[in-house]
């Protein structure tokens, strides 16, 4: 009995510390909040930028929703229609594409800086975990959205992606070996990537994922406002500035600048200009797969190793990384920010190198 009582007390203490009721008011969450000023301060803007890009995604996504049709016969035509005929359609679609990449870039940067600044320690564990899940949701957004234009690269990359899930089955014992296949079929909906897959991905992309992301983002932001900014550097910062309204206005100024850049970028450089045409042609179920099927750049860091190394190595490595990410608040509790910065820098270097030079590394080892 007493043991149950102790467990209960532990849980309730945990919750009380993460959701301090006395701080649940405008005064302590907004008016009193201060943002430390130090050499890592720029890291405080990365989260806001990620949210800004998410808002851009919601806005441009709603615009696209007016014309996009999620059926195998009409999807590609409707996307072409948006590009070719709808006033500002190409711009909106292009902004959606650029902004999605930016959102993922800044989400990853945000994770690395938060890690380096040790922003995950007590009482901010929930913020961190919610953030990690948000990142995974963001990746899923990218994966599901990639299919919707229903062109060659979209369908074939999705086939490869889903098939990789099934590949996991061979490492599982007995009945469990079937689970990945069942999982793939659930998402695929039919024997091959087709109308059922498109419908499912569409539902995920425009309703389920946005709702999930918005909900978690609410928790994430509530925690950030409740507990305030983390100290960020080992020696306490000498100076700090008011969150309201100094930091907020700086944030807004940055958003405005970034919006301008995004707008001009979307106006001038079509996101699809990085792909050769055959990959953008409508998917043809009866033809062969064109050469050069690749996922989006933000999956390169796992795609190229997957091409080079045995599947089980990647599987084990990614499980370890996910485990570390989720349990970071407890694993790195005692690590100094210097060491954390070093780890973050190394991880960042790996991501940059694999993304920028992945192709060359792949060619080098394959030939």
Partner 1 sequence: MIDILLFIVLPYLAVFICVFGSIYRIRTAPMTYSSLSSQFLESKGLMWGSLPWHLGITIILLAHVVAFLVPGFWQSLMSHQSVLLFVEAIGLGLSVLCVLGLIVLGVRRLTSSKLQAVTSTMDLVVILLLLLQVGLGAAVAVHCKWGSSWCSGTTTPYIWSLITFAPDISHIADLPVLVKSHIVGAWLFLLVIPFSRLIHMFAVPIEYLVRPPQNVVWTNSRKWASEENVFADDETRRHFVRAFLGITFGGFLLGVGTFRNIFLFFFGPRLSRKEETELMELRLARLESTMDQRKLELERQAANYILVCKFSELNAETGKYFIDYQMQPAIAFKGKDGLPLLISAKCTHLGCTVGNDVDGEGRILCPCHVSYFNIETGQPNAEAPAKAPLPHIGWVIMDERGKVLARRNTDGRTEGTIAAEQQETARVYIAKGQEERA
Counting contacts by CB under 8 A, is residue 287 touching partner 1?
yes
**Region from 14-22, 40-48, 67-75, 339-347 binding partner 1, contact rule CB under 8 A:** 67-75
CA-nearest of 340, 338, 346 to 328 is 340
Counting contacts by CB under 8 A, is residue 268 touching partner 1?
no
Burial zone of 228 (CB within 10 Å; 0-12 exposed, 13-18 middle, 19+ buried): middle
3-state SS, residue 330: helix
Q: State CA 266 to chain mean position distance.
A: 21
**Region from 27-35, 36-44, 161-169, 322-330 binding partner 1, contact rule CB under 8 A:** 161-169
Read off the tokens for 248: 């907020």
Counting contacts by CB under 8 A, is residue 160 touching partner 1?
yes
Distance CA 255, CA 271 (A): 21
Counting contacts by CB under 8 A, is residue 288 touching partner 1?
yes
Tell me how many helices (H) and strands (E) the chain has. 15, 2
Query: In the complex, what is the shortest distance from the CB of residue 48 to partner 1, in angstroms, rounded to a whole number?
Result: 22
Counting contacts by CB under 8 A, is residue 293 touching partner 1?
yes
Sole binder of partner 1 in the list 28, 140, 196, 289 (CB under 8 A)? 289
Counting contacts by CB under 8 A, is residue 290 touching partner 1?
yes
Counting contacts by CB under 8 A, is residue 281 touching partner 1?
no
> Around Cβ 100, how many Cβ atoms within 10 Å?
24
3-state SS, residue 282: strand
Counting contacts by CB under 8 A, is residue 110 touching partner 1?
no
Sole binder of partner 1 in the list 167, 187, 297, 327 (CB under 8 A)? 167
Sole binder of partner 1 in the list 45, 53, 63, 141 (CB under 8 A)? 63
Give the number of residues in contact with partner 1, rule: CB under 8 A.
36
Counting contacts by CB under 8 A, is residue 192 touching partner 1?
yes
Read off the tokens for 260: 């301008």
**Spatial CB neighbours of 77, under 8 Å, sequence gap ≥ 6:** 69, 282
Site string (15-54) toward partner 1, x via CB under 8 A:
----------------------------------------
Cβ contact 105:99 at 8 Å: no
What letters, b where the CB count within 10 A reaches 16 and e where it falls short, cover 9-28?
Answer: eeeeeeeeebeeeeeeeeee
Pick the closer one to partner 1 by CB: 137 or 155. 155
**Region from 20-28, 69-77, 110-118, 133-141 binding partner 1, contact rule CB under 8 A:** 69-77
Counting contacts by CB under 8 A, is residue 163 touching partner 1?
yes
Pick the closer one to partner 1 by CB: 34 or 80. 80
Distance CA 100, CA 103 (A): 5
Site string (70-89) toward partner 1, x via CB under 8 A:
-xxxx-xx--xx---xxxxx
Cβ contact 190:176 at 8 Å: no
Query: In the complex, what is the shortest distance from the CB of residue 73 to partner 1, in angstroms, rounded to a whole number?
Result: 4
Sole binder of partner 1 in the list 175, 191, 235, 273 (CB under 8 A)? 191
Query: C-alpha distances in angstroms, 273 versus 14, 35, 183?
Result: 51, 41, 34
Instruction: Read off the DSSP letter of residue 118.
Output: T
Cβ contact 255:271 at 8 Å: no
Read off the tokens for 124: 């901010």
Counting contacts by CB under 8 A, is residue 285 touching partner 1?
yes
Sole binder of partner 1 in the list 4, 21, 65, 291 (CB under 8 A)? 291
Query: In the complex, what is the shortest distance from the CB of residue 55 to partner 1, in angstroms, rounded to a whole number?
Result: 16
Counting contacts by CB under 8 A, is residue 215 touching partner 1?
no
Q: DSSP string of 217-267?
A: HHHHHHHHHHH-----SSSPPSEEEEIIIIIHHHHHHHHHHHHHHHHHHHH
Give the residues lining the site for partner 1 (CB under 8 A): 63, 66, 71-74, 76-77, 80-81, 85-89, 92, 156, 159-160, 163-164, 167, 191-192, 282, 285-293, 307, 366
């Amino acid at each position: 009995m007493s043991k149950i009582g102790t467990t209960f007390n532990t849980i309730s203490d945990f919750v009380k510390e993460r959701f301090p009721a006395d701080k649940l008011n405008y005064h302590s969450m907004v008016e009193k909040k201060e943002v430390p000023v130090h050499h890592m301060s720029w890291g405080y803007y990365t989260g806001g930028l990620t949210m800004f890009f998410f808002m851009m995604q919601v806005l441009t996504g709603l615009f696209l929703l007016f014309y996009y049709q999620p059926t195998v016969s009409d999807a590609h035509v409707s996307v072409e229609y948006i590009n070719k005929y709808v006033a500002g359609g190409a711009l909106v679609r292009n902004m959606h594409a650029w902004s999605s990449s930016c959102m993922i870039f800044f989400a990853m940067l945000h994770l690395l800086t938060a890690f380096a600044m040790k922003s995950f320690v007590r009482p901010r564990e929930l913020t961190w975990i919610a953030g990690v899940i948000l990142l995974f949701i963001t990746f899923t957004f990218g994966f599901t959205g990639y299919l919707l234009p229903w062109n060659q690269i979209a369908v074939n990359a999705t086939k490869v992606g889903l098939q990789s899930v099934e590949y996991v089955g061979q490492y599982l014992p007995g009945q469990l070996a079937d689970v990945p296949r069942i999982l793939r079929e659930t998402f695929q909906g039919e024997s091959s990537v087709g109308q059922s897959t498109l419908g499912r991905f569409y539902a995920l992309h425009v309703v389920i994922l946005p709702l999930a992301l918005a909900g978690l983002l609410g928790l994430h932001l509530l925690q950030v406002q409740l507990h305030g900014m983390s100290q960020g550097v080992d020696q306490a910062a000498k100076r700090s500035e008011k969150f309201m309204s100094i930091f907020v206005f700086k944030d807004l100024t940055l958003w405005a600048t970034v919006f301008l850049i995004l707008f001009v970028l979307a106006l001038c450089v079509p996101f699809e200009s990085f792909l050769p045409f055959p990959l953008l042609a409508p998917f043809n179920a009866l033809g062969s797969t064109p050469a050069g099927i690749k996922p989006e750049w933000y999956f390169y860091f796992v795609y190229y190793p997957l091409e080079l190394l045995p599947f089980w190595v990647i599987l084990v490595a990614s499980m370890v990384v996910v485990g570390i990410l989720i349990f970071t608040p407890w694993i790195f509790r005692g690590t100094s920010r210097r060491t954390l910065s070093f780890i973050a820098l190394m991880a960042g270097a790996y991501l940059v190198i694999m993304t920028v030079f992945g192709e060359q590394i792949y060619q080098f080892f394959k030939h």
